[in-house]
Amino acid sequence: MTVLETTGLTITLDGQPLVRDVSFGLAARDRVGLIGESGSGKSLTALALLGLLPPGMRTSGRILIDGEDHLGAPDRQWRRVRGRTVSIVFQEPLTALDPLMPVGRQIAGPLRLHQGLNRSDAERRAIEWCDRVHLPDPARLVRALPHELSGGQRQRVALAMALACRPRVLIADEPTTALDVTVQAQILTLLDELIEETGVGLLFISHDLPVVAGLARQLLVMRTGRLVESGPVDDVLRRPRSGYARQLVASAARVTRLARPDVRTEDR
């Protein structure tokens, strides 16, 4: 069943459209990749789906969460669904983390808000989540402040916080772009494992086609604020229909060839 659905989503600033007429839906267990060049409107689309657009931006269309339209809804209505039905992790985990609060209490926050757990039960659950995202020595680590952790550890905390209340959709907006390549691969492996285990539907946003193709089953391609292509990943990779998707596939293939000069073209 579709959890999150947007139809005709348009976002404007001072009368200028930044995102135009975007429509798609997400159900639990879906794995959808949203790809496009810088400035194509991916992040604004993600922020709109959680009612987090910067002030001054105007929206039209519909954002249905469990069938209820949230477009233009008051913040109190959004707070009921954020973290409980739909969660988000950002490129820079510090965006979501309070620098002055121990990370365990931050993971515990949504559990107290949405599940009514008392402080000690929520903090115990936070320790379990730290273990689940493979953070070392969870009982000690929950007392650390965000700046005491590495970038990769902070992204693990952000994932624990986002998934703690078992949302049915997770939006991951370039969650590994700020990390070095080895840590990036570890976080992608963890994300793959967590979405498989929890059954959460994933909207994975990136400008990196090979990364998206590794995680997603469906692909949405954005350019200059519009969706220009959508379909199963394999179909888009084999038979891209739009000129822009063809360019993306061709340049990803070139990068792969550069990275693997030992592999002949006809072997792929």
Ligand X SMILES: Nc1ncnc2c1ncn2[C@@H]1O[C@H](COP(=O)(O)OP(=O)(O)OP(=O)(O)O)[C@@H](O)[C@H]1O
Residues near ligand X, by CB under 6 A? 13, 18, 36, 38-44, 54, 207
Judged by beta carbon, residue 49 or residue 200, the one nearer ligand X is 49
Judged by beta carbon, residue 2 or residue 39, the one nearer ligand X is 39
Return the H-helix or E-strand segment holding 218. Answer: strand 218-223
Selection from 168, 191, 158 nearest residue 90 by Cα: 158
> For ligand X, which residue has the nearest CB?
43
CA distance 202 to 221: 16
Tell the smallest beta-carbon distance from residue 256 to ligand X (Å): 21
Tell the smallest beta-carbon distance from residue 206 to ligand X (Å): 8
User: HSE (CB half, 13 Å, CA atoms) of 156?
Assistant: 27
Tell the smallest beta-carbon distance from residue 48 to ligand X (Å): 9
User: In sequence order, what are the residues at sequence separation of 6 or more whose Cβ sits closer than 8 angstroms to the Cβ of residue 203?
Assistant: 26, 32, 34, 46, 49, 169, 170, 171, 172
Tell the smallest beta-carbon distance from residue 158 to ligand X (Å): 17
Tell the smallest beta-carbon distance from residue 93 to ligand X (Å): 16
CA distance 206 to 177: 8
Tell the smallest beta-carbon distance from residue 43 to ligand X (Å): 3
Residue 20 DSSP SS3: strand
Judged by beta carbon, residue 105 or residue 226, the one nearer ligand X is 226
Contact 19, 45 (CB under 8 A): yes
Judged by beta carbon, residue 66 or residue 208, the one nearer ligand X is 208
Contact 179, 91 (CB under 8 A): no
Contact 3, 85 (CB under 8 A): yes
Judged by beta carbon, residue 44 or residue 122, the one nearer ligand X is 44
Judged by beta carbon, residue 89 or residue 141, the one nearer ligand X is 89
